[in-house]
Amino acid sequence: MLEISDIVVRYGRREVIHNLSLTVAEGEAVTLVGSNGAGKTTTLKTISGMLRPVSGTITFDGQRIDRMEPHDIIALGVVQVPEGRLLFPDMTVYEHIELGASRARSGGLSFSERVDWVHQLFPILLERRDQKAGTMSGGQQQMLAIARGLMANPRCLMLDEPSLGLAPILVDLLEDTIRSLNETGMTVLLVEQRVDLALRLARRGYVLETGKVVLEDSAASLLSDPRVKTAYLGI
């Protein structure tokens, strides 16, 4: 469904992604792992149109999206949940949920059905409906960030470091949520520093190092790969 071939991305003159290619099939859960500065977030930002590749192509359902504006890409159903939550501290929970639907993909659930759906997924968001996002805990903020992303009615959900700074119990909850989203047919592209978690959730994984794919395999074989073990799992 999502096909990235040979993209090169630069920040100014500095090339940070070198001829990277990856594919995500419909309904699949795929993860990008790698250390800091490997280019995971940059890759996601390039897919969602926040950055433009210098060369190479990105296609979604056969349609080229690498020259499209972010709001048009979202309307196709490619939605990124940014790293570090990135909420508007002075806006309320419900305002964020509405904001997520600014350029929702048409089809599927209606706006109010999606509101009910995200409230079902994260009941705390209904409870805290009128609270300002900035006053919530990190876990609640992450749930809100995901709910906001889901309000755009995604077909392919890209999550950037969702476990960052969360208590272990919340990480478990998050894992369950992401898994169930994937099981109901949503394509998931997950960037995660916690490689163990990422490889448990995903079916396939790519290992990135300094802007290149160095390893690509099924999650199970990556988990047992000695290079991954020593470099990322610390065992």
Partner 1 sequence: MSNRIFLPLVIALALAVPFFTANTYFHHLMVLWMLFSLLALSLNVIIGYIGELSFGHAAFFGIGAYTAAIVGMNFGLAGIPGLLLAAVMAGLFGFVIGYVSLRIVGPQFAILTLGFGSIIYTITNYWVDLTRGPMGISNIQPLGLWGEGGVALTGARGYYYLTLFLVIAFAYACHALLNSRTGRAFIATRENAPLAASLGIDVFRIKLLGFVVATAVAGVAGAVYAHYLTVITPDVMSLQYVAALIIMVIVGGRGTIAGPIIGALIYVVLLELLRALGPLRLVIFAALLTASVIFLPGGIVSLWRRLTGEETKPREAAE
Q: Can you give the binding site for partner 1, defined by CB under 8 A?
A: 45, 48, 50, 69-71, 74-75, 79-80, 82, 86, 88, 90-92, 95, 98-104, 130-132, 135, 148, 152
Residue of 41, 40, 46 lying closest to 60 (CA atoms): 46
The least CB distance from residue 56 to partner 1, in Å, is 21
Cβ neighbour number for residue 106 with a 10 Å cutoff: 8
The least CB distance from residue 102 to partner 1, in Å, is 5
Q: Which is nearer to partner 1, 23 or 131 (CB)?
A: 131
- Alpha helices, H only, 106-167: 111-121, 123-127, 138-150
- Paired strand residues for 79: 157
The least CB distance from residue 183 to partner 1, in Å, is 26
Question: What is the DSSP annotation of 43-87?
Answer: HHHHHTTSS--SEEEEEETTEE-TTS-HHHHHHHTEEEE-TT---
The least CB distance from residue 82 to partner 1, in Å, is 6
Q: Which is nearer to partner 1, 11 or 88 (CB)?
A: 88
Q: How many angstroms separate the CA atoms of 94 and 51, rounded?
A: 29
Q: Is residue 23 packed enough to be buried (19+ CB in 10 Å), middle (13-18) or exposed (0-12)?
A: middle
The least CB distance from residue 214 to partner 1, in Å, is 28
Interacting residues of 120 by C-beta distance below 8 A, sequence separation 6+: none
The least CB distance from residue 98 to partner 1, in Å, is 6
CA–CA–CA angle 50, 104, 176 (5° rounding) = 85
Q: Which is nearer to partner 1, 53 or 82 (CB)?
A: 82
Residue type, 80: Q
